[in-house]
Amino acid sequence: MSTHLLLINPNTSPEVTADVAESARRVVSPGTVVTAVNPEHGPAVIDGAYDKALATYGLVEEMQRAEREEDYDAYVIACFGDPGLDAAKELTDKPVVGIAEAAIMVSAFLGARFSIVSTLPRAQERLRRLAELNGAGARLASVRTTDLGVLAFHEDPEGTLDVLEAAGAEAIREDGAEVLVLGCAGMTGLAGRLSERLGVPVVDPVEAASRVAESLVALRYSTSKANTYQAPTEKVYR
């Protein structure tokens, strides 16, 4: 019996949705089917808290539609910032995996310290807090940001690979990073080549999360309904 994953890209750029689907399909087991969607409305890219707020709204709508109309085995939230992750866990008892939490966890198996390589400088503090929230504050060597936007990776993979290589090399040399984590869903697909250039493991968060989600299904684990992630209580929605 095949496993069916739904990747929800919370931004509204279909090219990113296509990219994350391709990445997921590259790493899952033969029997696993991957579907990827994005909300109709919301920001084309998510690079701040305002965008995250809007995108979360679209994401929960997609979650609700999926729960109502389909029968997915697990969900992946495909934005490095894990927007709406807690809300999504309330809406289902299937496993839900954020790509940031997955990538940060996976990095722990590969080396003693890691750096996140991401987009704009304004994300630095948020990514530090995200690492802290996921219990990785002591392992975080640094957050290295570039000046590239989310879509740059899709539009110019070669150029951005060079930029990522430069940022990653600094993280290794100056900050003591032993593993790199790509801090943006839009960077998906570049980890293998970046790893070859830099000589350290590079975690692609979309790939890592897809494989984690598939594994949670295989392990027959569900989202606990014991307390924090109970279904929303009955109330009026206006």
> What residues numbered 150-179 form the site for a copy of itself, per CB under 8 A?
172, 176-179
Site string for a copy of itself, 180-209 (x = CB under 8 A): ------------x------xxx-xx--xx-
> What is the smallest separation between the CB atom of 177 and a copy of itself, expressed in angstroms?
7
Which CB atom, from 27 or from 163, has the smaller least distance to a copy of itself? 27
Which CB atom, from 33 or from 49, has the smaller least distance to a copy of itself? 49
21 vs 15: CA distance, rounded Å: 10
Residue 79 per-residue DSSP state: S
- Tokens 């979360």 sit on residue: 56
The only residue of 9, 16, 17, 47 in contact with a copy of itself, by rule CB under 8 A: 47
Q: Which of 174, 118, 110, 163 is nearest to 136 (CA)?
A: 110
107 vs 178: CA distance, rounded Å: 9
> Which tokens hold the place of 3?
């496993």
Give the range of 65-73, 123-131, 159-167, 181-189 binding a copy of itself by CB under 8 A: 123-131
Q: Which of 95, 80, 108, 118 is nearest to 207 (CA)?
A: 80
- Contact between 95 and a copy of itself (CB under 8 A)? yes
The only residue of 18, 37, 87, 169 in contact with a copy of itself, by rule CB under 8 A: 87
> What is the smallest separation between the CB atom of 183 and a copy of itself, expressed in angstroms?
15
The only residue of 8, 24, 45, 116 in contact with a copy of itself, by rule CB under 8 A: 45
58 vs 54: CA distance, rounded Å: 7
> Which tokens hold the place of 10?
């919370």
- Contact between 6 and a copy of itself (CB under 8 A)? no
- Contact between 41 and a copy of itself (CB under 8 A)? yes
Count the Cβ atoms, other than its own, within 10 Å of residue 58.
Answer: 22
